[in-house]
Amino acid sequence: MHECSPATSRNPNVLSHISSFNFRINMSLPFLPGNSFNDKLGKEKFHKSHHFGNCNDVSMLVGEHKPGIGGSQLLGQKPKPNRSNIPQGQGNAAPAWVAFDRQVLRFDAYFQEGVHEKPEEQYRIRKCKIYFYLEDDSIQVNEPQVNNSGIPQGTLIKRHRIPLPPPNDAHCYTVEHFNVGSEMTLYGRTFKITGCDQFTYNFLRKLGMRVNPPEDTPGDPHQNYREKMAESQQPLRPYEKVDTLKQFLDHDRHVLRFYCFWNDTEKMFGDVREMILHYFLADDTIEIKEYIHPNSGRDAAPMFLRRARLPKTSPEPLKQPGEITGRTVLNVFGPMGHGGRYILDSLKTGAAITESYTDQDLMVGVTINVWGRKLILADCDDFTKKYYSTKYGVSDFKAVPYKADPPRTGKLEWPPYTGFGSEEDSLCSCMGLLPKPPRRDFIKFMEKDRHGLESNVLRFKARLDTTKPIDMDRRFIISYFLSDDTIAVFEPPVRNSGIIGGKFLERERIQKPDQPRFGTELSEYFTARDLYVGSRLNFHGHYFILIDADEYAFLYMEKQAHGFPMANIDEITRKLAAIAVQQKDVIKEFFRRNDPQSTGLIDYDQFRNLLFQLGGSGLSEHEIMTLARYYSNTQDDKLDLQTLVTITQDHLKKSNFENFTNLADGLAHRDTDNSGFLDVEHVRSTCNAFRVPLPSDLLRALLDKMEKNEEGCINYNQFVAFLNWRDHPTNQSVQAPIKFDRDWTNRQDSANVTSINYTSLLQAVLSRN
């Protein structure tokens, strides 16, 4: 083994040469004792490298590039690429990918590319942009697009770290390599930097670099040659410009519509064919569509003429070749071909001009030529009339009659009902070759089907209209299902009556009496409008008289008063007003006799007898009940204010009504003088507008208990506070007794409606007169 002098051991360059020499010797000599060198000669560090640490306050692998003993690299390992040396500022130092996020240096550069296949040019100058990303020292090169260059342009080099040219390819470009005027080689292509933007200039100055002044980019000979050729070209005729953009912008989607017809009766099997002409003001084109009547025998192709300009002299003979050209030659000098001269017609004196229809040529009553077919404009729409009256001052738009009177057709009669299946099912077999089942009103079924506690079933109590003693005491429950207009009759069983109760009539649609069984028209069926207290019904020969109804039926009919005239309080009051006009003295004497103390109240039985005495058969039992329910005084007498508020809040809570703020704003909007009081009718109409889910009698009773001023107006702020179960709940709870009745017979207490406030009734009746 050879030994080194102390001077040699202190010189690291000499040691590196010795190490490389030892490596070459070891590769050529056998690995035997006495034939190898000591690799540790001159080393002072023999520690194991530290692999994990903190870099920019981030825990990461830091010793990946020095895994050998003493921090030396392994055989064949490349050194770690260098990074940009950017001075660290004062304060908390952030990582580079945070401090320089979205900060990019932009340089203007060019490179020269040789052209070897064209004798007209030897090289080209290609301009590009070099982007240097400060966060990771990556570089991207883009070339701007040049029109008609014929070269694929765009991204020349994608973003990544670019190594230096050999032999320094172990390192990459950093920010120190960039400056205006410098040249840099990227993958064998040399770029010359000619300038940079303001941000790049300021950033380089902050790094302490002297930025050179910008340089001019040399011109491209091929590009200069093409620009000179473009400038030397002259137009073949004087420049012509037809401005159609203004017309399009002014009249886009403006269409004139004319109703016209083509009288083709001169030909065999010809007829009058109706057309619709559309004139588009945006480009003066015309479109014609044919109106095809049902069962006319014509193909369903309504487009008679596609949208295009319509010439006036059509059809024209076929033009000869060369007659319609874009350029017209006037004179020719010299021989034909090479060396000849010609003069172009710039005024188009020999051009073939075809006139087309415009909006000035179209008018009601005018006949136009549509490629040999004579169409008469008979009428137009309102927009077309307004357009012609505004632009041309036309006021006469008398239509041309052309439609013949419709032929008289007999009434279509269907064959009589066969008796098989339902009438609708048998009728569907007559409407087509393929029978289809009758369509069910599914929307009505979904709306009127049971929804929670909303049964949508009207129940009435009825008796038989008979003189037989055994049947006179029988009672029935008639249920009308609103979802499909079916009726079911049930008889509650009565012990020791000798009659077996139960289902009396299966649920079905029941036809009205006195109709032919096998008729050509559909039979009429009983509807909800036909069922009311006091009506007489014929169900398959059994006569029933409705004597009462449940509370749900009364409430439903009163809410849907437009469909139930017997429960419409306005119609009943109007009918009663017409009767009371003629018998005012009888009414006054009746109330004076039955209410001597002038309390304004009267018993229900006396009230009923009075109405029967006045109206006779003009008022039904249901109408009398509706009046009694509307003007009843039961709740006002038996319930105090606290109980009414408790019942009201319970109703609103079950209906999940919480729109109290908007209700208060609506009432305040009607209070024009800001007095805090409103008329009762205004409060009631506002509650109806906001859909307050309260029964009418409960709302009326609550309004009567409210604080009132001298004019009879109520304090609406107090009213809203009583309704607001969220902010002002009551501590009192109302528990109604639960009664279970196995067979509902609608047994009601006679005290439900005991007294009638006839004073309010008289005011409503007299106001009608």
Residue 341: pLDDT above 70? no
Question: Interior CA angle at 206 toward 189 and 187, to 5°?
Answer: 10
Nearest to 623 by CA among 638, 612, 634: 612
Helix, strand or coil for residue 114? strand
| Geometric angle at alpha carbon 239, from 235 and 245, rounded to 5° | 130
Confidence band for 8, pLDDT divided at 50, 70 and 90: very low
Is residue 660 pLDDT above 80, yes or no?
yes
- Cα(first)–Cα(last) distance of the chain, in Å? 140
Angle at 562 between CA 558 and CA 563, to 5 degrees: 85
Residue 540 has pLDDT above 80, yes or no: yes
d(C-alpha 719, C-alpha 60), whole Å: 72
Q: What is the pLDDT of residues 262-284, one digit of tens each?
A: 998 888 888 889 999 999 999 99
Q: Is the pLDDT of residue 714 over 70?
A: yes
Asked if 617 contacts 534 with a C-beta cutoff of 8 angstroms, the reply is no
CB atoms within 10 A of CB 487: 23
- Single-letter amino acid, residue 69: I
Q: What is the pLDDT of residue 331?
A: 60
Span of 33-47, 242-256, 558-572, 709-723 with lowest mean pLDDT: 33-47
The average pLDDT across 721-737 equals: 76
CB neighbour class for 566 (10 Å; exposed up to 12, middle 13-18, buried from 19): buried
pLDDT in tens, 478-490: 999 999 999 999 9
Identify the pLDDT of residue 260.
Answer: 95
Looking at every residue in the chain, the average pLDDT score rounds to 82
**What SS3 state is found at 595?**
coil
Q: What is the mean pLDDT of residues 34-52?
A: 75
Six-digit token string for 665: 């704003």
Lowest mean pLDDT among 73-82, 527-536, 560-569, 731-740: 731-740
pLDDT at 128: 95
Q: Express each pLDDT in 379-394 by its tens digit.
A: 999 999 999 999 999 9
Q: Determine the distance from the C-alpha atom of residue 168 to the mean position of all C-alpha atoms in its chain, rounded to a whole number.
A: 64
pLDDT at 6: 39
- Please count the residues of the chain: 769
CA distance 288 to 306: 7
- 551-559 helix and 621-630 helix, angle to the nearest 10 degrees: 80
Q: At a CB cut-off of 8 Å and minimum separation 6, what does 673 contact? A: none
Residue 359 pLDDT:
93
CA angle 631–636–641, rounded 5-degree value: 145
Decide if pLDDT at 400 tops 50.
yes
Q: Read off the pLDDT band of 320 (50, 70, 90).
A: confident
When pLDDT is cut at 50, 70 and 90, the band that residue 532 belongs to is very high
Could you tell me the pLDDT band of residue 211, with boundaries at 50, 70 and 90?
A: very high
Reply yes or no on whether the pLDDT at 234 is more than 80: no
The residue with greater pLDDT, 6 or 230, is 230
Angstrom distances, CA of residue 244 to CA of 247, 278, 281, 388:
5, 20, 11, 22
| CA 466/CA 463 separation, integer angstroms | 9
Which range (33-37, 141-145, 166-170, 474-478) has the least confidence? 33-37
* DSSP string over 416-453: PP-SSS-HHHHHHTTS-SS--PPPP-HHHHHHHS-BTT
Model pLDDT for residues 294-318, shown as the tens digit of each residue: 888 888 788 999 999 999 988 888 7
User: Tokens 């050194």 sit at which residue?
Assistant: 79
What confidence category does residue 745 fall into, taking pLDDT thresholds of 50, 70 and 90? very low
Interval 15-25: pLDDT, tens = 344 444 444 44
Per-residue model confidence (pLDDT) at position 192 = 95
Q: Is the pLDDT of residue 748 over 80?
A: no
* Position 704 confidence tier, pLDDT thresholds 50, 70, 90: confident
486 - beta bridge partners?
481
